[in-house]
Amino acid sequence: MYILPGKEQGVLPISSLLILTIVLLYLGYRWALPRPIAGIPYDESASRTIFGNLPEIRAHKSPITQFWARPFKKPSIIISDFQESQDLLLRRTKEFDRSQRSVDFFSGIVSNHHIAMRSSDPRFKGNKELVKDLMTPAFLNEVSAPEIYAKAISLVELWTVKTQLTDGRPFDANQDIVDAAIDIINAASFGIDDDMSVLRHQLDSLASISDAELPVGADGAVEFTHPPDVPEIAAINEIGNHIGSQFKSMVPKLSHYYNLFTNPSILNAFKVKDKFIYNEIEKALARYRSGNDATRSAMDHILQREMSAAKKAGRQPVFHSERIHDELFGYIVAGHDTSSTALRWMIKWLADSQPSQQRLRAALRAAYAGAADEKRQPSVTELAKTPVPYLDAFLEECLRVTGPLPITQREATVDTVLLGHRIPRGTEVYMVTQGPGFLKPGIAIPDGARSETSRAKHTHGHWDPRDVADFRPERWLKAGDGDGDGGREVYDPQAGPMMSFSLGPRGCFGRRLAYLETRLVLALLVWNFEFRKLSDELSSHAVVDSITSAPQKCFVALTKLS
């Protein structure tokens, strides 16, 4: 057979190219396979698939495990030990910082808020300086507490009306708590009056409704129609939901911009948000120019800090900087979501644990005896300043067993060591807040495996493994030492492992505000209502994960107390 000249030469290059392609694909596949960190337990199957998988921590029975969170990435570490987590967050801040992934969750949305910055970011110090006094006891008690109290009273009024309309039958309280939290954080942020209060709009919408008009669902719960939100509140809620969706994305920053430019509703929400903040700042500046420079809100404080900084630097103040706008909006989103989640879980525990509810109410009546005798609400001053150990214990136990943030995340900024294992720079470290040591018996660790600071500085107690999974507020109480407490029970915040709002300089900035809010709202609700036991269906503890881990269902069946 005659072969055309050059024909046979063309066969070899094609075959070689095919073989080379196969080899390169195989090498690429091998390169993409997860490479475990030596000596740290992991699921064997995770090393044979590009996508990896989460380990069964309990099966390993190890305080340190590794997994592959995303394709083509190095392994991440899970620490299941409070003592080592506490040490990392409090004392090893030069080795571990906010992770790049957690920065990416927020950097597209509030890129000039300190939550979207690492500690090494040159902007970080200036941003923290701008907001540092917002969590001082003086600011919280004098400025934030009255705003929280006023909105909590509005929630009491709303539920009083709903209790009358439902005749004690259950209703869905989920949106009411979300509305209360958004009212509270808007008031604390901007000093906003009732014309933008979601709770007040709900009360107005119920004024003309009778119980005969209310439908009842298959689960036996009375169904209320929620009035439309004003545009500004709707925008805040939509952006909050958008942020929650970023937590489920492998590329959150890219996902944010994709949604922003392909979803007109989200784009419009950001425009409404920007205009809202601009207008509130302008209102405050007009108030200052009229001679009224009283601090009514976080915004007032931030603007006054900018005035002081500008005067010191010999420049004109910049009130509409991206930094100020983002710090204000981040204050709203973070404060609203965390507090509303915590309150919803607390309300569920009131109904689930009737003895705890009864003891809490008795403790409140005793602490605020004057209010009880006079048949009035405890004042904001009484609530904020009178210690009620069982109130703190109940609140803390709710956060322990159903905290809003189930994990805390950091990233190694240098090559370092954790529990005797070498951890490469850039490794993400996840610390669980509801695992071994928190809600399960702890895992034994030899002291020699711990860091020197961990061995020397650990201060907290340990939970009894026999009841560590139980809801028991009493675990937070101890006998007083007689020095100013008369030997009565006192609240012990260091009774055992607790990390619901993280720890250290990069822990939850709004932690103190969240505690103040939940304390005031919880006390007023228990003072005014009995939370009756619900059916298993309505009291489910199923979780929906977004920015926080919130309950899927939050129903209440109330009896108004006189």
The SS3 of residue 430 is: strand
Sign of CA dihedral 132, 133, 135, 136: positive
Closest CA relative to residue 371, chosen from 379, 381, 360, 359: 379
Q: Is 554 annotated as a binding-site member?
A: no
Helix axis angle, 100-107 relative to 231-246, nearest 10°? 150
Give the chain's domains with CATH numbers.
132-405+500-560 (1.10.630.10)
In whole angstroms, give the CA distance from residue 14 to residue 349. 70
Helix (H) or strand (E) holding 457: helix 452-457
Closest CA relative to residue 431, chosen from 403, 407, 411: 407
Q: Which residues contact 389 (CB under 8 A, 6 or more apart)?
A: 363, 477, 488, 489, 490, 491
Sign of CA dihedral 362, 363, 364, 366: positive
In whole angstroms, give the CA distance from residue 547 to residue 236. 14
pLDDT single digits (tens) 245-303? 888 888 888 889 999 899 999 999 999 999 999 999 999 999 998 988 888 899 999 99
> Which tokens belong to 413?
């900024």
Per-residue HEC secondary structure of 178-234 comes to: HHHHHHHHHHHHHCCCHHHCHHHHHHHHHCCCCHHHCCECCCCCECCCCCCCCHHHH
pLDDT single digits (tens) 138-158? 999 999 999 999 999 999 999
- The single-letter DSSP state of residue 249 is -
The SS3 of residue 156 is: helix
> Which tokens belong to 192?
């906003």
The answer to whether 106 and 243 have CB atoms below 8 angstroms apart is yes
In whole angstroms, give the CA distance from residue 257 to residue 113. 17
- The DSSP secondary structure of 117-153, one letter per residue, reads S-TTSTTHHHHHHHHGGGGSHHHIIIIIHHHHHHHHH
pLDDT in tens, the chain (562 residues): 434 444 444 445 777 777 777 777 766 665 666 678 888 888 766 554 444 444 455 566 789 998 887 767 788 999 999 999 999 999 999 999 999 988 998 888 899 999 999 999 999 999 999 998 899 999 999 999 999 999 999 999 999 999 999 998 999 999 999 999 999 999 999 988 888 899 999 999 998 887 667 888 888 899 999 999 899 999 999 998 898 888 888 888 888 999 989 999 999 999 999 999 999 999 999 999 898 888 889 999 999 999 999 999 999 999 999 999 999 999 998 788 899 999 999 999 999 999 999 999 999 999 999 999 999 999 999 999 999 999 999 999 999 999 888 889 999 999 999 999 999 999 999 999 888 999 999 998 988 889 888 888 777 789 999 999 999 999 999 987 766 555 689 999 999 999 989 999 999 888 999 999 999 999 999 999 999 999 999 999 999 887 788 999 999 999 999 8
The helix/strand count (H/E) of the chain reads as 20, 15
In whole angstroms, give the CA distance from residue 548 to residue 482. 40
In whole angstroms, give the CA distance from residue 304 to residue 143. 14
> Which tokens belong to 493?
């915040």
In whole angstroms, give the CA distance from residue 225 to residue 535. 23
> Which tokens belong to 489?
């029970």
Q: Which residues pair with 421 in a beta bridge?
A: 418
